[in-house]
Structure 1
Amino acid sequence: MKEKEIEGSLWDVFIHVLAVIALYVSIVGALTVLFQYVNLSLTDTADVEVDVRDRIRWGVASLLIFFPAYVWAWRLIEMDLSENPEKKKLWVRTCPIYLTLFLAGLLALSDLACLVYYFMSGDLTSRFLLKVIAVLLVSGAVLWFYLSALRRVPGPLPSATRAFAYATFLLVGLLVIAGFATAGSPSRAHLARLDVTRIENLQDIQREIVEYWQNKMALPTSLDQLSDSISGFSPPRDPATSASYGYHAVSPTSFELCADFALRDFDTEHTLPSWTRMRLGKIYWNHEAGHFCFSRTIDPARHPPHKPEA
C-alpha cells in the first residue's frame, strides 16, 4: 500500500529552519567558550591581545539564548512527529538534517587534517590539541544525534537519546555558569567601563592642558581655565560622582591629574575587550584602585609653543 504523502506547511518550514539556525549558533557559542577556557588554562606568550573574557561573554550569550530556542523547536518537532509519523520523510525535515550531517562531517575531517598538518610541522601544542578534541567532541555528538534521528522511528525517545539529551543540557548549563563566573559579573563590567570613561576624560584634559601651555607658555592654575567657548570644551567630570578631577601644577612644565578608580588597570584590562584597552594605551595610564594621580611633563621639543600670529 502506498504511503500517504503529506506536504509541509509554513509552520513546518519555520520550526525546522529555526531549529537548524539555533543549533548552528549554539555550536559556535559552545566552541567559542571551550576555546577560551583552553586559552585561559594554557597561556601562550605568542598571543596578541586575545579577548578571552569578552569572547566568553559572546559565547555564553549565544548559548543562553539560542540553545533554549533549539530545545524548544526540537521538542515541538518531536511531538509533531509522534502525532504525524508520515512527516519523517518530509523534505523540510530531511534537508536540514543532511546539511547538518554534511557540515559536521566536514568540520570533523577539517579538524583532523589540521591536527595532522600541525603534527607534521612540529607545532602541535597541548593547547591546540585540546581545541582539536573539543571540535571532534562537538562535531561527533552532532553526527551521532542526527544519524540516530534519521534511523529512529517516530515515537517515544530511546533511552540512549534521552541520556544524550540530558547530558547535553547539563554540559551547556555548566558552560554558561562557568562563563558567568569567568567573565565577571555585570556590576564589575560596569565599574570597568566607568574607569575607561575616567581615563578618556583625563586624556581629553591632558590634551587641552598641553594646548593651553603651547598657547600661553604656562600651565593653567585650575581646570576651569581650560573652558573655551569657541571650541566648546568644558572640563569633564567623574561619570559616577560628577566631581571634578584632581589637578595641580608641579613645575612650569609638569602637572598631575588625579581620579578615583573603582578597579586597578589590570582588572579593567581583563574585563573589557582589547579594542577598548588599545584605545586607552597601556603603560601610560596604569593605575591602582582608589585615588590615583598621573604625573605628566610637557616636552617642549615634542610640543613646541605656538608662534603668535603676525
Structure 2
Amino acid sequence: MRPADQLAQFVAEALKEGRSRAEIAAALQQAGWAQNEVTEALNAWADTGFIPPVPRPRPYVSAREAFLYGLMFLALAMTAWNITTLGFELIELWLPDIADSYSRYNVGTVRWSISVLVVFFPLFLVMNTRAQRAAHADPGKRRSAVRKWFGYIALFLAALTLLGDLIAVIYALLSGDLTARFFAKAVLVALTAGLIFLYFSGETREAENAS
C-alpha cells in the first residue's frame, strides 16, 4: 500500500472512532508526517461530525476528456499562432520598411493562415462552448484534472509569450531598432497572449474553487 493510501486509511479509521481532528493531526505529526500531508489528508473528509466520515469531492481523470481537451488545446494553439502570423503579414503590408530588403508580403502565408483559422477557430469555439455547457449542467466536471492541467498549461505558455514579447521590445528600444512595424507586431503578440491569459485565469480559478 502506498504511503498516501496508508495515511488516508488511518485518517478515515480515526474519524470513524470519533477522534478529533486535532488529535489525529498531533498523532500524525508525532509519527513524522509533514504538516501539508496531514492537512491534505484531513481535508479529504468533510467536517460534518457524521459517522462514517463523509468524503469531499476529489479531482478525477477521464480518457475521453483528455482527448477532447487535447484537441481543444491544439485548436487554440493553431488559432493563436495563425492569428499572429496573419497579423504579421498584414503589418508587413501596411507598414513596409524600405530599408529592410528581407521584408516581403507573402500571399501564400496569408492564404494558409486564413485556411487554418477557418478550420481551427470554429473548432475551438464549438468545443469550448460544449465544455462550458457541460460544466454548468454538471458542476462536478469542473473538478476534472485534465481540465485544470489544460488551463494551467495555457496560462504558462501565455505568460512565457508575454515575458518574451516584453524582453524583445526592451531590447529593440535599447538597440534603437524599435520601429513602428516592430512595435505593432509586439502589440499583436501581447494582445493575443494577454487575452488567452485572462480567459484561462478565470477558468483555472473556477477549477480551483470546485476542487
Counterpart amino acid of residue 26 in structure 1: T
Structure 1 distance, partners of 2:78, 2:101, is 26
Equivalences for 1:53-72 in 2 at 5 Å?
A: 53-72=107-126
What's the counterpart of residue 65 of structure 2? Answer: 12
**1:115, 1:129 within 8 Å by CA — same for their partners in 2?**
yes
Answer yes or no: is 1:150 the counterpart of 2:204.
Answer: yes
Q: What are the equivalent positions in structure 2 for 1:33-72 lying under 5 Å apart?
A: 33-45=86-98, 46-48=100-102, 50-72=104-126
Gaps of 5+ in 2: 1-45, 47-54
Q: Do the aligned partners of 2:79 and 2:121 also contact (CA within 8 Å) in 1?
A: yes
Note if contact 2:159-2:197 (Cα within 8 Å) is conserved in structure 1: yes
Give TM-score, length-normalised by structure 2: 0.68
Alignment deviations for residues 156-205 of structure 1 (CA, whole Å, 9 cap, x no partner): xxxxxxxxxxxxxxxxxxxxxxxxxxxxxxxxxxxxxxxxxxxxxxxxxx
RMSD: 1.8
Instruction: Indicate the residue corresponding to 2:74 in structure 1.
Output: 21
Q: In structure 2, what residue type is equivalent to 1:108?
A: L
In structure 2, distance between residues paired with 1:149 and 1:47: 44
Give, in whole Å, the separation in 2 of the partners of 1:110 and 1:37. 22
Distance change (3 Å), C-alpha of 1:6 and 1:84: farther
- How far 1:6 moved relative to its partner? 5.8
Partners of 1:6 and 1:136 in 2: how far apart?
33
Determine if contact 1:104/1:142 at 8 Å carries over to the other structure: yes
1:15 maps to a residue whose letter is L
1:288 aligned residue: none
- Correspondence for 2:130: 76
The 2-side partners of 1:117 and 1:54 are apart by 31
Equivalent pair of 1:15/1:77 in contact (CA under 8 Å): no
1:122 lines up with 2:176 in the alignment: yes
The one of the two structures with greater contact order (alpha-carbon pairs below 8 A, sep at least 6) is: 2
Report matched runs for 1:77-116 at 5 Å.
77-116=131-170
Sequence identity (%) = 27
Higher strand share: 1
Structure with the larger helix share: 2
**One-letter amino acid of the counterpart of residue 186, structure 2:** V
Alignment correspondent of 1:261:
none
* Aligned partner of residue 58 in structure 2, secondary structure: coil
How far is 1:49 from its partner? Answer: 6.4
Aligned 8 A contact 1:34 1:134 in 2: yes
How many residue pairs end up in the alignment? 154
Cα offset, 1:85, TM superposition: 1.3
**CA–CA separation in structure 1 for the residues paired with 2:88 and 2:152:** 27
- 1:48 deviates by 2.4
1:21-40, Cα deviation, whole Å (9 max, x unpaired): 10000000100111111000
Deviation at 1:51, TM superposition (A): 4.9
How far did residue 47 of structure 1 move?
3.2
Give, as a single letter, the amino acid of the residue that structure 1 aligns with 2:80.
Answer: I
Structure 2 vs 1, CA of residues 15 and 125 (structure 1 numbering), >3 Å: closer, same or farther?
same
Describe how 1:1-310 pairs up with structure 2 within 5 A.
Answer: 1=46, 2-5=55-58, 7-45=60-98, 46-48=100-102, 50-152=104-206
Under a length normalisation based on structure 1, what TM-score does the superposition of the two structures give? 0.47
Question: Paired residue for 1:219?
Answer: none
Is the 8 Å Cα contact of residues 169 and 186 (structure 2) preserved in structure 1?
A: yes
Using the alignment, how far apart are the partners of 1:126 and 1:43 within structure 2?
A: 10
Partner Cα separation in structure 1 for residue 101 and residue 192 of structure 2: 25
